[in-house]
Copies of this chain bind each other. A is one copy, B any other.
Amino acid sequence: MPSPHFSPPPLAPLTLVLGGARSGKSAYAERLLQDHPRRLYLATAEAGDDEMAERIRHHQARRGAGWETVEAPLDLCGQLGTQARPDRPLLVDCLTLWLSNLLLAERAVDAEIDRLIDALPGLAGPVVFVANEVGFGIVPDNALARAFRDHAGRLNQRVAGCCQRVVLVAAGLPLLLKDPS
C-alpha cells in the first residue's frame, strides 16, 4: 500500500529495515528508494516451491517497473561489491532468506557473515537491507529452529551496528531504532 504522499527521508549510506512476517517491511523499504530513477533489487529468494514462487510474483507485481533485478541467493557479498554504485541505490530483500539459503547449502555461515560485515563500510553506494525479526515468540521446540533464530538475531545485531539508520516496521508503520541525525 505505497502512498503517493509518502516522502521518504534522504537515504543513509546503510539502512536496515527490520520487521515481522507480513509487516509491510519490504513495501516500506521499496518506498525509501522509489524516487531514485536507477535502483537495483538484489533478490535473495529462489522459487524453490509454489509458495515461494507466489511470494516472488507478489513482490514483483508490487514493485512494478523501474527496478533492475539481480538474484543473489548465496553470493550476496560478491554481488554487493559488484553492484553498489553511488548513482544507484540497492535494495537487499532479504538478509534472513540469505541466511536460510546459506544454512540449507551448508555454507560456512559465520565466515559469510563476517565477510558481509567487513564489506559494509566500504560499499560504493547506498544500500537498504530488509531482514526479519524472528525472536519475539516462544522458544521453538526443535534445535534447528533455535539455531536459526540465534543466527538471525546475531546477524541483525551486527548489521544494525553498521547501519546509520535502522527501523522496525509493524503493520506497515516504522519505529525508528537508530537515526543518522
Contacts and interface: CB of A to CB of B under 8 A. Distances in A.
Interface in A144-181: 145-146, 148-150, 152-154, 156-161, 166, 168, 170-175, 177-178
A21 interface: yes
A60 to B, nearest CB: 17
B138 A20 contact: no
Interface stretch (A29-37, A80-88, A104-112, A128-136): A128-136
Interface residues of A, number: 43
Nearest to A153: B22
Interface in A120-145: 133-140, 143, 145
A90 interface: no
